[in-house]
């Protein structure tokens, strides 16, 4: 079969086909030829005639069935894929095709058929489960990251976590590059930080959670997750791209009684180039099927580069109907402070984890006051009161606004 044979604009995809939306810049090639090349090389075809081709293989051909400008849709028969094997699926539709000579290619969206989606576990908790665990029914959850991200010893790390919880944070998490360095060994950190969590819970009467970064070689990651669970932890965090989707799937398949918080460290290497690579909604959909409960999706404000449209697409990937697979809690993180809260809630809605690092620890009054200010911003927004008005009677919020302003 020639590349052109993989293009049929009259083709009607089957209900069980996997559909991929690509943006293709064909370079000097004819668009249909290049499009057919993508479909061929990501399914059963290759660049030349071969003697081993059999007639029955044609039923597994991917087909370009729609072309609109530089955008195209390809239907992949489900028989191409092993159910429950995300590495296999992505090696096909997001594999060697990105290296084809002379083209730029971006995978913008992916649509999983019900049966293939159901072969993955999906989130164990999702939005409803996380809210139930924390006992917070409606408002956005407030989180922070221990800062500085690296360098604190275990005792000081645990103290920063306690200060944040005492001030009103629901969630404290490790940063993405904190593992088990000599200055802060993993097991010691878990024991001491969870002890501070328990202290904060007893003093505030609120449930608190610690997101411990377990990212490591897969067997070590499993061991660390077991240690967190045995120590009374409720959460783990995984750097899903640097750890790898198969490692993530292994963690999920162990079915720990732990919420999985997904950090997307490294995503921009795939997502930032608008004409080549893989979009964040695709990464979000894959992570959701595998089974994360929370995922960083950008902010549309703050220090990260994604705009409102991109972040909205990421949120939709976390929450759109997907064959009974639970929703994923969207996490906004990156350069946030209390002045951003009204804009975030207006954009995200209340199903939001608002995670501020410097915007809490950089408060003029320190971490406790920074956490107080963030909760005050949430309380004001939920009450429909402007931050300026609320700040008249809430000194911590006023100080935060004076330092960082409002979005």
CA distance 22 to 109: 7
Q: State which of 82, 117, 152 marks the end of a domain.
A: 117
CA distance 200 to 195: 9
Q: What is the pTM of this model?
A: 0.94
Is the predicted pLDDT of residue 57 greater than 80, yes or no? no
Q: What is the CATH number of the domain that holds 43?
A: 3.30.70.150
Q: Using 50, 70 and 90 to split pLDDT, how confident is the model at 308? A: confident
Q: Using 50, 70 and 90 to split pLDDT, how confident is the model at 305? A: low
Looking at the fold, whether 84 and 173 belong to one and the same domain comes out as no
Looking at the fold, whether 60 and 144 belong to one and the same domain comes out as no
Is the predicted pLDDT of residue 199 greater than 60, yes or no? yes
CA distance 137 to 228: 25
Q: What is the pLDDT of residue 155?
A: 98
Q: What is the pLDDT of residue 304?
A: 56
Q: What is the pLDDT of residue 45?
A: 77
Q: What is the CATH number of the domain that holds 248?
A: 3.20.20.110
Q: Structural domain tally of the chain?
A: 2
Q: State which of 117, 136, 161 marks the end of a domain.
A: 117
Flag the least confident range among 25-39, 154-168, 296-310, 335-349: 296-310
Conformation bin of residue 286: beta by default, left when phi > 0, alpha when psi is -120 to 50: alpha
Q: Which helix (H) or strand (E) holds 195?
A: helix 186-204
Computed over every residue of the chain, the mean pLDDT equals 94
List, for residues 78-104, the tens digit of each pLDDT value: 999 999 999 999 999 999 999 998 999
Q: Using 50, 70 and 90 to split pLDDT, how confident is the model at 56? A: low
CA distance 33 to 240: 35
Looking at the fold, whether 164 and 24 belong to one and the same domain comes out as no
CA distance 274 to 302: 21
Looking at the fold, whether 35 and 157 belong to one and the same domain comes out as no
Question: What per-residue string of b and e applies to 73-82 under the rule 16 or more CB within 10 Å gives b?
Answer: bbbbbbebbe
CA distance 398 to 115: 53
Looking at the fold, whether 58 and 86 belong to one and the same domain comes out as yes
Looking at the fold, whether 203 and 315 belong to one and the same domain comes out as yes
Question: Which residues, including other chains, have CB under 8 Å from residue 46's CB and lie 6 or more apart?
Answer: 40
What Å distances lie between residue 147 and 31, 58, 65, 366, 402, CA to CA? 50, 56, 50, 12, 22
If we measure between CA atoms, which residue out of 147, 223, 146, 237 comes closest to residue 187?
223
What average pLDDT does this structure show over 266-277? 91
Looking at the fold, whether 307 and 240 belong to one and the same domain comes out as yes
Q: State which of 84, 117, 150 marks the end of a domain.
A: 117
> Higher-confidence residue: 24 or 333?
24
Active-site residues, by number, are: 147, 263
Q: What is the pLDDT of residue 205?
A: 97
Question: Which residues, including other chains, have CB under 8 Å from residue 114's CB and lie 6 or more apart?
Answer: 16, 323
Looking at the fold, whether 158 and 286 belong to one and the same domain comes out as yes
* Rg, C-alpha atoms of the chain: 23
Q: What is the pLDDT of residue 265?
A: 86
Residue 355: other Cβ atoms inside 10 A:
27
CA distance 176 to 216: 11
- Classify 98 as helix, strand or coil: helix
List, for residues 107-129, the tens digit of each pLDDT value: 999 999 999 999 999 999 999 99
Structural domain span for residue 201: 126-404
Q: Using 50, 70 and 90 to split pLDDT, how confident is the model at 147? A: very high
Looking at the fold, whether 200 and 98 belong to one and the same domain comes out as no
Highest average pLDDT, of 56-60, 93-97, 365-369, comes from 365-369
CB 272 within 8 A of CB 185: no
Q: What is the pLDDT of residue 298?
A: 84
Angle, nearest 10°, between helix axes 245-253 and 218-230? 40
Looking at the fold, whether 98 and 144 belong to one and the same domain comes out as no
- Classify 213 as helix, strand or coil: strand
Looking at the fold, whether 354 and 208 belong to one and the same domain comes out as yes
* Adjacent-strand bridge partners of 237: 213, 261
Looking at the fold, whether 149 and 108 belong to one and the same domain comes out as no
CA distance 394 to 373: 8
CB 293 within 8 A of CB 315: no
Share of the chain above pLDDT 90, in %: 87
């Amino acid at each position: 079969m020639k590349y052109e044979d993989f293009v049929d604009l009259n083709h009607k995809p089957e209900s069980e086909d996997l559909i991929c939306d690509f943006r293709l810049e064909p370079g000097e090639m004819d668009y249909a030829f290049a499009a057919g090349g993508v479909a061929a090389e990501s399914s059963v075809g290759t660049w030349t005639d071969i003697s081993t081709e059999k007639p029955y293989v044609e039923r597994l051909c991917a087909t370009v069935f729609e072309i609109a400008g530089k955008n195209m849709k390809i239907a992949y028969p489900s028989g191409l894929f092993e159910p429950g094997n995300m590495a296999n699926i992505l090696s096909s539709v997001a594999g060697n095709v990105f290296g084809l000579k002379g083209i730029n290619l971006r995978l913008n969206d992916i649509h999983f058929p019900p049966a293939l989606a159901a072969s993955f576990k999906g989130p164990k908790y999702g939005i409803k489960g996380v809210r139930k665990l924390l006992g917070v029914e409606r408002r956005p959850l407030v989180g922070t990251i221990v800062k500085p991200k690296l360098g604190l010893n275990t005792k000081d790390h645990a103290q920063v976590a306690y200060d944040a919880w005492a001030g009103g944070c629901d969630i404290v998490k490790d940063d993405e590059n904190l593992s088990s360095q000599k200055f802060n060994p993993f097991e010691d950190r878990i024991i001491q930080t969870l002890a501070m969590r328990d202290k904060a819970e007893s003093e505030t009467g609120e449930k608190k959670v610690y997101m411990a970064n377990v990212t490591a070689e897969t067997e070590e990651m499993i061991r660390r997750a077991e240690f967190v669970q045995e120590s009374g932890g409720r959460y783990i965090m995984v750097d899903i791209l640097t750890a790898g989707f198969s490692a993530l799937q292994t963690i999920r398949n162990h079915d720990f009684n732990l919420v999985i918080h997904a950090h997307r460290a490294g995503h921009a290497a795939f997502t930032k180039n608008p004409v080549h690579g893989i979009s964040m909604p695709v990464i979000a959909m894959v992570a959701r099927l595998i089974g994360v409960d929370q995922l960083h999706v950008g902010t549309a404000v703050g220090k990260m580069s994604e705009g409102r449209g991109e972040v909205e697409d990421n949120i939709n990937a976390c929450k759109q109907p997907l064959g009974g697979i639970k929703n994923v809690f969207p996490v906004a993180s990156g350069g946030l402070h209390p002045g951003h809260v009204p804009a975030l809630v207006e954009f995200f809605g209340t199903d939001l984890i608002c995670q501020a690092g410097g915007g809490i620890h950089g408060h003029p009054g320190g971490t406790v006051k920074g956490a107080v200010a963030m909760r005050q911003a949430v309380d004001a927004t939920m009450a429909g009161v402007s931050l300026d008005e609320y700040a008249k009677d809430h000194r911590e919020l006023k100080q935060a606004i004076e330092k960082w302003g409002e979005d």
